[in-house]
Chains A and B, each alone.
Chain A
Amino acid sequence: MTRAKGGRACGPGRRFGSVLILALVSIAVGPSWAVEPAQDEVETGYNYYNGAGVTVQGPAVIVKKNVLDGASLKAGYSVDMVSSASIDVVTQASPYRETRQEYSLGTDILRGDTLIGMDYIDSRESDYTSDTLSIGAAHDLFDKNVTFNMKVARSWNLVGRNNDPSFGWKDFNRTMYSTGITQSLTPRWLIQFNYELTADAGLINNPYRSAMTLDGALVPENYPDARTGQAWAIRTSYGFPSGSSAIGPGGLGGSVQMDYRYYRDTFNVVSNTAKVTLQRYFAPDWLGGIFYQYYRQGAASFYGDRLPTNQLYKARDRDLSEYQDHWIGLTLKFKLKQTTWGLISNPYVQIDSSLMIYHYDDFTDPRTDALYSQRAYVGHTSFGFNY
């Protein structure tokens, strides 16, 4: 890890901890299981994010292997290399670089119409360690027209502060419960309902970030030590018939998917997310897609761009402020189905590119006192195959 200014403490804009937990547990509880045998599969990718002074990039790989009849193992590895000079960092500390590594192991066992899965994830960085364990099950009902699933995940984490041994290591733990149901409405129409409850306990706030008082002084953020959030989501996918010339491998021309999520938590954050995705085959091997997502949220009850000194809980995390964002992206995938090259079969290459635009309603740039907004480019490239 490097420091731009003589080893000064890492910037307050760091969000490795909370973000990491969210992401890891999301891995563990994602309800998108299909009750079907796993394939021997390798997927490799490279992620890229650049915007508002922050660059994150790194490789990732997942390998799946059937080991017994109905049982499979999977292993993953990823690296995030972060270079940050975000607005929080440049106004409260100094730019920094960071690397995080993650290892994961999991197994799925299929018995009849029931799939049971367990996953373990380990993640390390200089001021954050995380271990996550999850177990879940999915079951098909009504001639496989309905799939019901539920998962439980627990994440144990330790949060530190670089260059500050006196801070020690603080606990931050999360428990997540999720359940979902997917229904086949017609041969070309799926609908899915999901519910997820997340309970956090421990050091929830960023140990580096400061809040700002009415007279402009910086004071440490202080959050309640517990947070419970609930999310309700509905997703639907509708396939449309092929055109005269461009069709997919299964005879489908493409699909339109729509997602909506409502979220609220005990910090009084309420948000709404809507997303639409359109995919279409340009040829049996070529798939193109475009998506648009709109997100709007209200502020946490103790958030403030400037806060009274005597307020007990203080936050100036713009993730907890009132804002909206737009996210639009393109996808292009080339997949050679029923093609074998030696040990490799069904190879594919995929490129994703998207733009995010954020407008904050109550978060100002301290350097200009103007409301803050930001743009970011998000990219992902992957190559995968069966073996």
Chain B
Amino acid sequence: MRRRMLVFVCLAAVWAGMTGCAPVQPWQREYLADETMQFDPDPLKAEWQQHVREVFEGGRGGFNGTGGGCGCR
């Protein structure tokens, strides 16, 4: 438990440092708006890939994306 708390505190400190930098100004967002910068910009594609992934994996969650349905077995 103590180890987990230490990891959490370290991550929070790193995060706070990154946030404090806040370097991106509104007029600098053109690149960030490009679809290649986005995580899973195509809903149907992300849905299908996530569905296939979850059909065959014991793990789940954590990644973005949308769903789908049906079994692939």
Contacts and interface: CB of A to CB of B under 8 A. Distances in A.
B37 interface: yes
A229 B58 CA distance: 10
Contacts, number: 260
B62 A233 contact: yes
A4 B58 CA distance: 29
A86 B73 contact: yes
Contacts of B56: 319, 325, 356, 358
Contact of A100 (B25, B29, B66, B70): B70
B27 to A, nearest CB: 10
Contacts of A203: none
Nearest to A378: B52
Interface string A347-386: 0001010001010000000000000000010101010000
Interface residues of A, number: 109
Interface string A90-133: 00000000101010000000000000000001010100000000
Contact of B71 (A14, A197, A229, A380): A14
Contacts of A327: 53
Contacts of A28: 67
Interface in B39-73: 39-40, 42-73
22 contacts: A14-B71, A22-B60, A23-B68, A23-B69, A47-B44, A56-B70, A56-B71, A56-B72, A80-B68, A98-B71, A143-B22, A186-B23, A194-B64, A248-B36, A250-B31, A252-B34, A255-B37, A263-B59, A271-B57, A295-B59, A327-B53, A382-B45
CB-CB nearest 8 A-B residue pairs:
A231-B62, A80-B70, A27-B67, A32-B64, A263-B59, A233-B62, A23-B67, A196-B61
